[in-house]
Amino acid sequence: MKIIALVVILTSCLFYSNLLSQDFSIAVSYLAGEKSKDSHSSSESFAIDGRSVAYSVKYSGRKGKNDIDMDKVCEFTEQNIENIKKTIISKELNVVDSLFQETSKTKSFEQYTNINIAIRMDGQDYKIRINGDILEFEDSKLYKNSLFFITLLRKMVKDCS
């Protein structure tokens, strides 16, 4: 009887620890554009649920030779997920914060961005929103760390199969 109770307890512990480890999701949308006589933009999105990843990038306006629309679905390794979690913490992206452009949009040339990051990790929800002229954000730690994170995800997706 004690053995059966022990097996039930161990199975329950493993089941619940597995549920908690799957309590991980990320949704990122990243728009980067330029308002000029050759206006263009790129729009990327990442969706991570557990280890499953969906990625999309679309280009509009003037396109470079390497600017090819793409959709990809793949699986990250456990090590990938651990690296992402460590980056979220080390780059202080486990916050609810935002940056918005403070000046008016009357410039004839502007490089702009719109970043939305939603993270669900260890039972907590974190959200980052950044919107406006890149020049206003270039000294911001939140902006720099968000771009670092997006670049990391992009590289991980590229290497993912």
Residue 51 lies in a domain: yes
Residue 15 lies in a domain: no
Residue 68: its pLDDT value, please?
Answer: 86
| Domain total in the chain | 1
Q: What is the pLDDT of residues 54-70, one digit of tens each?
A: 999 999 877 677 778 99
Residue 146 lies in a domain: yes
Residue 28: its pLDDT value, please?
Answer: 97
pTM of the predicted model as reported, rounded to 2 decimal places: 0.81
Residue 17 lies in a domain: no
Domain that holds residue 134: 24-159
Virtual torsion, Cα 74, 53, 137, 108, nearest 10 deg: 70
Provide the CATH number for the domain around residue 34: 3.30.1560
Residue 10: its pLDDT value, please?
Answer: 40
Q: What is the pLDDT of residues 73-87, one digit of tens each?
A: 999 999 999 999 999
Tell whether the model's pLDDT for residue 110 goes beyond 80. Answer: no
The 110-121 sheet, strands edge to edge: 70-75, 52-61, 40-49, 24-35, 110-121, 124-133, 96-100
Q: 141-159 and 78-90 helices cross at what angle (nearest 10)?
A: 170
Tell whether the model's pLDDT for residue 7 goes beyond 60. Answer: no
Averaged pLDDT for residues 11-27: 57
Residue 63: its pLDDT value, please?
Answer: 67
Residue 103 lies in a domain: yes
Residue 19 lies in a domain: no
Mean pLDDT value across the chain: 84
Q: What is the pLDDT of residues 32-46, one digit of tens each?
A: 988 766 677 899 999
